[in-house]
Amino acid sequence: MSEACIPRKGKRLVGRTFRPSWMSGSLKGAIRKKQKAYREWKKGGISKETYLSEFRACREAVRKAKSRVELDLARGIKSNSKRFYSHINRKKTKKEEVGPLKNVDGVEINSNLGMAQYLNEYFASVFNKANEGFRNRGSRTEGNRGGGIDITVSEVEAKLDQLNGTKSGGPDDLHPRILKELAREIASPLATIFNESVNSGVVPLDWRIANVVPIFKKGKKSDPGNYRPVSLTSVVCKVLEKILKEKVVKGLEVNGNWDELQHGFTKGRSCQTNLISFFEKVTDLLDKGNAVDLIYLDFSKAFDTVPHEELLVKLDKMGIDRKIQRWIRNWLRGRLQRVVLKGELSDWREVTSGVPQGSVLGPILFNLFVTDLGTKCRSGLIKFADDTKLGGIANSEKDRDILQGDLDDLVNWSISNRMRFNSEKCKVMHLGMTNKNFSYKLGTHSLEVTEEEKDLGVLVDRRMTMSRQCDVAAKKANAILGCIRRGISSRDREVLLPLYKALVRPHLEYCVQFWSPMFKRDELKLERVQRRATRMIRGMENLSYERRLEELGLFSLTKRRLRGDMIALFKYIKGINTREGEELFQLSANVDTRTNGYKLAVGKFRLEIRRRFLTVRGVKFWNSLPRETVGAKDLSGFKIRLDKFMEGMV
């Protein structure tokens, strides 16, 4: 009887019955009125002018209705970009879909259920076998190092308030929007459940199952290996995971067990800090006339093959609270997954290894698992989750042997930890005019030489001029701008400007403090995208580019890159990245009352790639900043003062 009162959302009809989001009852009436006027005009019942009057009124009503919807999309683009892409995708004639897949015998699989079953079988095939010792230790409760866990109501309520209501729910059908809106009412009972779960070690089955969504990466769509399994897990469990993650991180900070080489999923670190830290050393070595070899390493199905028993042993060595350890053990134990594809569900499969992609604890558990990776390396090594880079001088056979020895140590680590390198994706890049192009082996496999490699989303080539990356960034940005032009009918500033800032400009500025263009032609290539975007706005067509920027309150991309350089330097010198900043920058010995108090030493350089690197190019402008700007107490205050200082710049 209670189910009769629950509203159910039916499947949206397609074809002729599809109703655009901007269509309303009054607008449908205006369209019928126009159609009626057209028929009467054809019969000679009314004049052409009368029909045209109805036509213009209907067209204006449609334009205003579309503008209202598009304005709403633009205003919410930062918090909910899904609505924009849904709006665009509805207009596409060709939809992005999974498959059809081909099995090992070359037989094509077309049905959604068949593809879901086959993908789930493939995803499960990469798992490491479960360790029986792990199964038998699942109920251990002794040794509660760290005392009891106390999760407060305010903690739970704060995490519920932070939920994104536009995200998908898990297999338990509890949507994050419901949890967010009922945060105050359910925080207390959830806190009780969370405390009981952690202190007893019991993890409900609903928290250990996942709906897996296959996300296409690249390559052939018929190959199941080209899909990433993203797990949709219980949102309630994710709330608890966030709380436990904070406690784990706090414990690691107290114990000093952080991985200094890890930049992935780490507070204050990012792809950009990874690239700057690594290539600071590389460009410095090249500038001094050395040959440098870079080795890019890639684990095969890294997140899916983490062996649970080895992970738990490492957590214990790092001093993680025993109750949290036990909860994580039982959270990993007996996991099940199924693939969801267009409403079709595969059978459940047991998950015997790995950390769930899409969970909150998964990334940090992976980071902790690979903490001891590369600790014996004599060459430069840096990590971003499972992406690992190794680099060093390659002037002589002795240098080559050091790099090869480090590679051998990494292979030994992978064997002892039951993780496999994907030898086909591990490559070496030779840099420097005098490079002798030494060969390296990963186990028994000879590494392939590459001329360019995508490094954390940035295309790096052996010349390091960054021209290829500029081409890629401009192409991506222009593609999104084209989607906006075709999918959005409004040309109002209030619609196009937020869409440009949120969707287009980030492609031109992703990690740009690392790959800032070296040549004028590349600067113009990027600037041309913003010129095109500003010209699309109504009323800006006949104005000069400089005037358009002034009217829209925008900086040129060149000025924004300079601003970004200064923000990065502030973080390194006075902000959250001061530890890396001590290695990247040196304070000048010539400091007097006329300087800003944080004057940096100007580095020497020989090559253009070194002169254009952040740690060299940014110093001159930083030293010219006023004392009150550099003396800001926090980043937000620095940005305000910096923008005020840069407003008058050409």
Q: Which tokens in the block code for residue 237?
A: 């469990």
CA dist., res. 532 & res. 365, Å (int): 45
Give me the pLDDT at residue 132, please: 58
Domain match, 334 and 229 both: yes
| Mean pLDDT confidence for 77-83 | 74
Q: Is residue 587 a contact partner of residue 264, using CB atoms and an 8 Å limit? A: no
Cβ neighbours of 309 (radius 10 Å): 19
CA dist., res. 472 & res. 458, Å (int): 9
Give me the pLDDT at residue 141, please: 39
CA dist., res. 514 & res. 381, Å (int): 18
Cβ neighbours of 322 (radius 10 Å): 19
> pLDDT tens across 40-66, in order?
888 888 888 888 998 898 888 888 888
Q: How many CA atoms lie within 13 A of 118 on its CB side?
A: 22
> pLDDT tens across 416-468, in order?
999 999 998 999 999 999 999 999 999 999 999 999 999 999 999 999 999 99
Mean pLDDT over the full length of the chain: 87
Domain match, 419 and 532 both: no
Task: Flag whether 426 is in a domain.
Answer: yes
CA dist., res. 497 & res. 96, Å (int): 27
Domain match, 291 and 316 both: no
Give me the pLDDT at residue 136, please: 47
Residues in the chain: 650
Evaluate the omega torsion of the peptide bond into residue 100 and state whether it is cis, within 30 degrees of 0: yes
Name the DSSP class of 636: H
DSSP string, 132-183: HHHHHTTT-----TT------HHHHHHHHHT--TTS---TT---HHHHHHTH
Structural domains counted in the chain: 4
Given a cut of 60, whether residue 620 has pLDDT beyond it is: yes
> pLDDT tens across 577-605, in order?
888 888 898 887 766 555 667 889 888 88
| Mean pLDDT confidence for 375-398 | 92
Given a cut of 50, whether residue 140 has pLDDT beyond it is: no
Sequence-separated (6 or more) residues with CB below 8 Å from residue 467: 517, 518, 519, 522
Q: How far is CA 30 from the centre of its chain?
A: 45
Domain match, 119 and 243 both: yes
Query: What distance separates the 2 farthest-apart alpha carbons in the chain?
Result: 96
Domain match, 156 and 233 both: yes
CA nearest neighbour of 534 among 520, 553, 521: 553
- Which of 71-80, 262-271, 380-389 bottoms out in mean pLDDT, i.e. has the lowest? 71-80
Task: Flag whether 390 is in a domain.
Answer: yes
CA dist., res. 332 & res. 8, Å (int): 34
Task: Flag whether 142 is in a domain.
Answer: no
Name the DSSP class of 226: G
Domain match, 525 and 577 both: no
> pLDDT tens across 536-587, in order?
999 998 999 999 999 999 999 999 999 999 999 999 998 888 888 888 988 8
> Pick the residue with more confidence: 82 or 293?
293
Three-class HEC string of 213-226: EEEECCCCCCCHHH
Taking the model in full, what pTM does it have? 0.86
Q: What 3-state DSSP class applies to 47?
A: coil
Q: What 3-state DSSP class applies to 409?
A: helix
Cβ neighbours of 649 (radius 10 Å): 10
Given a cut of 50, whether residue 293 has pLDDT beyond it is: yes
Task: Flag whether 79 is in a domain.
Answer: no
Q: Which domain holds residue 421?
A: 278-299+369-458
Give me the pLDDT at residue 370, please: 94
> Pick the residue with more confidence: 254 or 634?
634
The dihedral through the CA atoms of 258, 262, 265, 270 has a sign that is: positive
CA dist., res. 239 & res. 604, Å (int): 50
| Mean pLDDT confidence for 182-195 | 94
CA dist., res. 614 & res. 568, Å (int): 9
Q: How sure is the predictor about 619, in pLDDT bands with cuts at 50, 70 and 90? A: very high
Give me the pLDDT at residue 139, please: 40
Helix axes 183-200, 322-332, angle to 10 degrees: 100
Task: Flag whether 84 is in a domain.
Answer: no
Task: Flag whether 71 is in a domain.
Answer: no
CA nearest neighbour of 90 among 175, 23, 177, 28: 23
Three-class HEC string of 234-299: CHHHHHHHHHHHHHHHHHHHHHCCCCCCECCCCCCCCHHHHHHHHHHHHHHHHHCCCCEEEEEEEE
Q: How far is CA 639 from the centre of its chain?
A: 24
Domain closes at, from 396, 430, 458: 458
Token pair 């090594």: residue: 381
Domain match, 516 and 400 both: no
Domain match, 325 and 403 both: no
DSSP string, 541-592: TTS-HHHHHHHHT---HHHHHHHHHHHHHHHHHTSTTHHHHHHH--B-S---
Evaluate the omega torsion of the peptide bond into residue 356 and state whether it is cis, within 30 degrees of 0: no
Q: Are strands 101-102 and 108-109 parallel, antiparallel or unpaired?
A: antiparallel
Domain match, 163 and 239 both: yes
Domain closes at, from 502, 526, 547: 547
Given a cut of 60, whether residue 14 has pLDDT beyond it is: no
> pLDDT tens across 320-360, in order?
889 999 999 999 999 999 999 988 899 999 999 999 988 99
Domain match, 472 and 599 both: no
Q: Which tokens in the block code for residue 1?
A: 């009887």
Give me the pLDDT at residue 128, please: 86
Q: How sure is the predictor about 145, in pLDDT bands with cuts at 50, 70 and 90? A: low
Domain match, 571 and 523 both: no
CA dist., res. 594 & res. 630, Å (int): 13
CA nearest neighbour of 513 among 590, 592, 616, 393: 616
Task: Flag whether 175 is in a domain.
Answer: yes
| Mean pLDDT confidence for 218-224 | 87
Task: Flag whether 612 is in a domain.
Answer: yes
Q: How sure is the predictor about 138, in pLDDT bands with cuts at 50, 70 and 90? A: very low
CA dist., res. 33 & res. 50, Å (int): 12
Domain closes at, from 412, 434, 458: 458
State the DSSP H helix or E strand holding residue 460, giving kind and residue range, or none if neither.
strand 458-461
CA dist., res. 14 & res. 21, Å (int): 13
State the DSSP H helix or E strand holding residue 459, giving kind and residue range, or none if neither.
strand 458-461
Name the residue type at position 623: N
Q: Work out the angle at residue 473's Cα, subtended by the Cα atoms of residues 549 and 221, and round it to the nearest 5 degrees.
A: 140
Domain match, 381 and 440 both: yes
Q: What percent of the chain has pLDDT over 70?
A: 91
Give me the pLDDT at residue 3, please: 59
Q: How sure is the predictor about 94, in pLDDT bands with cuts at 50, 70 and 90? A: low
